[in-house]
Amino acid sequence: MLPDLAADLAADLAREVRGSASLPLPILVLRLLGAALLCAVIGYEREASARSAGLRTNMLVGLAAASYAVITYEMAGLYDDRGEALRMDPLRLVEATTAGVAFLAAGMIVLSRGRVKNLTTGALLWLSAAIGLAAGNGLWAVAVLATFLGLAIGLLRGAQPQKPDDEDRG
């Protein structure tokens, strides 16, 4: 009796851990790992430039966004047999993710001596969330293109303000 109970419990736990995910495990791993790695490219540029919100922060933002995308995808599959009793709007995922990341990004932006700082860092965090959502939804062309466009834009340096000593006084 006890061995049967243990075997049943082990089988139930195995089913629970394995879950009823509609995405095959290799695809799930690819989407989550892909989001983290693509956002690492953005984060590496931030760290190499000695800016805030570097490698780990961008990777975590992208991974979180991809996780939310996959969770939403899986939830829709879990409840699709309920028809009109349950309606899911995938745009709410985008709205919630952008609102959450906007909160993080706003915390990065500061006003110091009359100048705004970390605005690009905040924008790149927002981009990492978009990359994560794209990867989580399997939109690889969008995720990869956004990563490399974001990297290229992050590498651009704006015009450096002149120091008061360098101003033309004549």
Whether 62 contacts 37, CB under 8 Å:
no
Residue 6 domain-assigned?
no
Please give the single-letter amino acid code of residue 31: R
Residue 7 maps to a domain: no
Report the pLDDT value the prediction gives residue 40, as an integer from 0 to 100. Answer: 94
Number of structural domains in the chain: 1
Residue 5 falls inside a structural domain: no
Per-residue pLDDT in tens (0 to 9) along the chain, 170 residues: 778 888 888 877 766 666 666 888 899 899 999 999 999 999 998 889 888 788 888 998 999 899 988 888 887 776 667 666 667 777 788 888 888 888 888 887 887 777 777 878 888 888 999 999 999 999 999 999 999 998 888 888 654 544 444 444 34
The whole-model pTM stands at 0.68
Instruction: Return d(Cα 107, Cα 24) in angstroms, integer.
Output: 37
**Which range of residues forms the domain containing residue 123?**
23-155
Q: Could you tell me if residue 135 is inside a domain?
A: yes
- Asked whether residue 52 is domain-assigned, the answer is yes
Is the Cβ–Cβ distance between 125 and 61 less than 8 Å? yes
